Structure 1
Amino acid sequence: MAVPSVPANAATDLEQAMFEFVDAYNQAWEAAAGEHDLSTAHACVLGRVETRRSMGELAEELRCDASNITQIVVRLEARDLVRREPHPEDRRSRQIVRTPGGDDLYGAFEDSFGFPRSAAANLTDDERETLVALLHKAMRG
């Protein structure tokens, strides 16, 4: 995954800081995925199938074409990290579920993706609470 660079013409200090944070987050995600021989997309899908998901649900959640999800799932299946199972209520539909090996690998990935924890450690408890509240407020638009 290409990591965007911070635009030279960021309008405000806030915009600049947001771009820098997103860049650092993406770079840390990519590095953690690479440690486990995963692409960033593979790590993302592997994380999303902690609970059963259909291919269509994954494509919608990740805002991508279903054919991309199919390719990712095929590669994860080849490593025995996920499997396709019939939907319990609709046998015509298949769902993706992590295997025990997928659970183990994703757990190791999460352990190695320390960016959110290390960034939060730079803040006091009150600052973390304030940041959480402000991020939620900003996302509500």
Structure 2
Amino acid sequence: MLYCAVLTPLGDDGFAVDFPDFPDAAPGDVGADTLCEAYGVAEEALAEHVRGLLARGEPLPEPTPPDRLPASPPAGAALFMVPVRLEPRRVVKVTLTMTEQEKEKLDAVAADWNMSRSQVVVAAIRDLCDRMGCP
């Protein structure tokens, strides 16, 4: 399930994230330095909020389509979709094979985004799956 989120830049203070379908779930100032980091915090905050609702037996709202939100995002804000991922996560180590040039690109992206190689690869997989509609 995908829910709308509004990402608002806070200048040097990072970003704020709000969920129109879950007004009490917003992590507010997420303190992230990058968009990718803010997205990860938003995803975790939404999953945690949904887990709490389900644990209390409360129903989840139907996701509001972006074109049916009651208000437009504030100036400078971005609207994006956040998946609800509730499955337990067991971390496993894998070995990847790639060309030297691809490794250099991976390292450059990781450095630019202040992420590890693994975080970049996982973010890319999630993004691809979200766009392709895979589970």
With the length of structure 2 as denominator, give the TM-score of the two structures. 0.26
More strand by share: 2
- Select the structure of larger CA radius of gyration: 1
The answer to which structure, 1 or 2, has the higher relative contact order (CA under 8 A, 6+ apart) is 2
With the length of structure 1 as denominator, give the TM-score of the two structures. 0.25
